[in-house]
Amino acid sequence: MIRLEKRPQPSRAWSLATPLIAVLATMIAGGLLFALLGKDPVEAIRTIFWEPLFGEFSFYYRPQLLVKGAPLVLIAIGLSLGFKAGIWNIGAEGQYIMGALVGAGIGLAFYPLEAWYVFPLMVIGGAFGGWLWAMIPAYLKTRFGTNEILVSLMLVYVAEQFLASMSLGLMRNPEGHGFPGSRNFNSYEGASSWINENAGMHWGVVAALIAVIFAYVLLNRHMVGYHIRLTGEAPRAAKFAGVNPARLILFCLGTSGMLAGLAGLFEVSGPSGQVSIDFNVGYGFTAIIVAFLGRLHPVGILLAGGLMALTYIGGDIAQSNLQLPSAAIQVFQGMLLFFLLAFDLLTNFRISLGKPEVA
């Protein structure tokens, strides 16, 4: 009989090996999926993971790794703080949208002024928009004990309606001949986040690197980080240690909302370039995969964000070159989280063979 036995202590070896095993399992299962769709599985996997880095047009695709990876890392860092403390913000996509709307609204209010202070005000507005949206589930949880998973997730759909409303109404470009969408920020120098577009560098990349350093220092050198780790690992011990649960919830949700809002602002003022109905592309949800793939560790999240960005770019190439459907690429990315969670079980449990002991 095969059964699972609880380990006395979580296995460090399995904890480190799980992400690598999950990636390999995803490649194998993804190859089978592509084969069922009538595509060469080896060619499909090679296209996704090789072409963006070493292919014929890699000089174009490599900078895109920064463009795609920056918002994922920025959002995942914020989410990881809450996840470590057992606070589950699943609505980063909504906070990403609201940060973009508030930041973009400030930029459009100053148009066509190209003063130095316009973009910093947009950054503050983006952070505030994401923070404010995250404060709704934070307040409801601390005041009424509601479930932050449900509230934050439901608010994503509210934010999407705000986005559609702004694209068709208040923020619509008056010179856009009636088409939905705001003015293009890439042609508004005072409000653009690009540093070097050809190199894929914008202020979101800088913010993501700063967030990684900030999270590492916070978790390893600050009392708040200790409280976060203690609450997640031993909630009862955290109470005896004097941790204020309400304050921790407000901090974790607020920080994750702020970083998601910044990601939205940098995206709308740079790579995306405008507020549009289809502005959100699921970064807030994909960042959950990035956070867990990186083992909720800042450096791990940085590496995981690069890997996930690679699947985005490689997936686009595979869709173009191999005519793979976009849904297949999304399933392939989802497999990564599935296998990660499946193999993560072995961190806390071991497989045992034989008859169960009879008391």
* Residue ranges of domains in the chain: 69-289
Which neighbouring-strand residues pair with 353? 2
> Which pLDDT belongs to residue 355?
65
The string of pLDDT tens digits covering residues 60-106 is 999 999 999 999 999 999 999 999 999 999 999 999 999 999 999 99
Q: pLDDT tens, 224-247?
A: 999 999 999 888 888 888 899 999
pLDDT over 90 at 260, yes or no? yes
- E strands in the chain: 2-6, 194-196, 201-202, 349-353
Give the pLDDT mean for 137-147: 96
CB 337 within 8 A of CB 289: yes
The pLDDT > 90 percentage for the chain reads: 79
Mean pLDDT computed over 194-222:
95
- Selection from 245, 236, 8, 61 nearest residue 141 by Cα: 245
Phi and psi at residue 358, to the nearest 5°: -100, 125
Specify the pLDDT at position 356: 58
Top pLDDT among 4 and 94 is at 94
What's the pLDDT at 234?
A: 87
On whether the CB atoms of residues 292 and 337 are closer than 8 A, the answer is yes
Lowest mean pLDDT among 1-5, 9-13, 82-86, 107-111: 1-5
Among residues 257, 251, 215, 242, the alpha carbon closest in space to that of 77 is found at 215
Q: Is residue 93 within 8 Å of residue 282, measured between CB atoms?
A: yes
Taking a C-beta distance cutoff of 8 angstroms, is the pair 127, 196 a contact?
A: no
Whether the pLDDT of residue 183 is over 70: the answer is yes
Judged against a pLDDT cut of 60, whether residue 205 lies above it is answered with yes
Across the range 206-226, mean pLDDT stands at 96
Comparing 344 with 76, the larger pLDDT belongs to 76
Cα–Cα nearest to 11, from 345, 234, 304 = 345
What is the per-residue pLDDT for 150? 97
**102-120 residue pLDDT tens:** 999 999 999 989 899 999 9
- The Cα 323–Cα 75 span in angstroms is 31
Section 176-188 average pLDDT: 89
Average pLDDT, the chain: 93
DSSP helix/strand/coil, 35? helix
Residue 228 to residue 85: CA distance in whole angstroms: 5
298 pLDDT above the threshold of 60 = yes
Reported residue count of the chain is: 359
- Give Cα 32 to chain centroid, integer Å: 27
Helices and strands per DSSP (H, E), number in the chain: 14, 4
Structure tokens at 210: 């700063």
Q: Is the peptide bond before 19 cis (omega within 30 degrees of 0)?
A: no
